[in-house]
Every structure is written in C-alpha cells, then in structure tokens.
C-alpha cells in the first residue's frame, strides 16, 4: 500500500493525529481505534498516518483494518481488508494463549494442560523403564 509513495517528498508540516483518527473513524463507522502508527514509523511509511481499527463483536474485535491517512492534510488515502491468511492468524491468537471465553474456559484450559503434561511425563517414564531392563540383560553377556 505504501509502495507508490516511496519517492514522494515527505510533508514538512503534519496534520494532527486527532484529525487522522477522526477521518479514519468517519470512513468506517462503528469501528474502534486499536492503534495509530505515526508517519515515519515502521508501520506507516513516511507520508501517512496508519490508523488501525477493529470491530466490536467477539469475532471482529480480533481483526484489524488499516486505514491510511495522508499526513500532510489529514485526508483519507486508502484502506484494505486484511488478506484471509492474516485474518486466520489474528483469529487463532487466542487459541494459542487460551485467554478467551471467560474464567471457566481458562480453568478448563489449565486442567487440559496438566493432563497433557501427565501424558508427556508418563510416556517418558515408560520409555526409560523399558530401556533399563534391556541394559541390565545386556551386561552379563
């Protein structure tokens, strides 16, 4: 999205971040601001504010939508939906950390973790126990 602006001159005077945020919210009503990347930073390029919006349902609150705002005058430049693989990645984040679905789910998550640890531990024990008598038998030969 920022490639066409690679050689454009950097604006000498910036529009305010407040103005950038308001432009982005007007473009996508009902969404909330997640973060704003300042011009010149890693996520925005030299010529734009990048306002990251997210929705307010359990599903859409995990999905970010970047809105590029012209840093010189605070006007709307471009916005895109995330590609499907990025959506899947964002949606799977709570599956990795187990930090969703309220306290009962977190407790069940912890119990399942302990059960998994038990399977790992008992498997390791069985493997070691099987190797030991085999070595003991080899020695007399």
Contact (Cβ atoms closer than 8 angstroms) between residue 90 and residue 55: no
Residue 89 in the binding site for another protein (CB under 8 A): no
Strands, sheet with 76-79, edge to edge from the N-terminal-most edge strand: 32-37, 48-54, 64-70, 76-79
Residues 93-122 close enough to bind another protein by CB under 8 A: 94-95, 100-102, 104-105, 108-109, 111-112, 115
User: In the 8-state DSSP scheme, what is residue 72?
Assistant: T
The 14-53 site mask, x for binding another protein (CB under 8 A), equals ----------------------------------------
Question: Least distance (Å) from another protein to the CB of residue 120?
Answer: 14
For residue 98, give the 3-state DSSP assignment. Answer: coil
- In whole angstroms, give the CA distance from residue 127 to residue 18: 62
Least distance to another protein from the beta carbon of 60, Å? Answer: 10
- Reported as type and span, the H/E element at residue 50 is strand 48-54
Q: Pick the closer one to another protein by CB: 73 or 113.
A: 113
Instruction: Return d(Cα 72, Cα 116) in angstroms, integer.
Output: 55
Kindly state whether residue 91 participates in binding another protein, applying the rule CB under 8 A.
yes
Q: Which is nearer to another protein, 3 or 129 (CB)?
A: 129
**Which residues bind to another protein, rule: CB under 8 A?**
58-59, 91, 94-95, 100-102, 104-105, 108-109, 111-112, 115
């Amino acid at each position: 999205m920022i490639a066409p602006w690679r050689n454009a001159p950097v604006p000498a005077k910036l529009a305010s971040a407040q103005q950038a945020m308001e432009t982005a919210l007007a473009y996508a009503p009902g969404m909330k601001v997640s973060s704003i990347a300042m011009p010149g930073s890693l996520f925005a390029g030299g010529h734009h504010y990048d306002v990251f919006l997210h929705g307010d349902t359990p599903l859409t609150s995990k999905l970010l939508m970047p809105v590029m705002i012209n840093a010189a005058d605070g006007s709307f430049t471009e916005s895109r939906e995330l590609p499907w693989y990025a959506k899947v990645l964002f949606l799977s984040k709570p599956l990795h950390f187990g930090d969703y679905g309220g306290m009962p789910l977190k407790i069940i998550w912890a119990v399942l973790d302990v059960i998994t640890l038990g399977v790992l531990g008992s498997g390791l024990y069985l493997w070691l126990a099987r190797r030991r008598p085999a070595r003991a038998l080899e020695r007399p030969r």
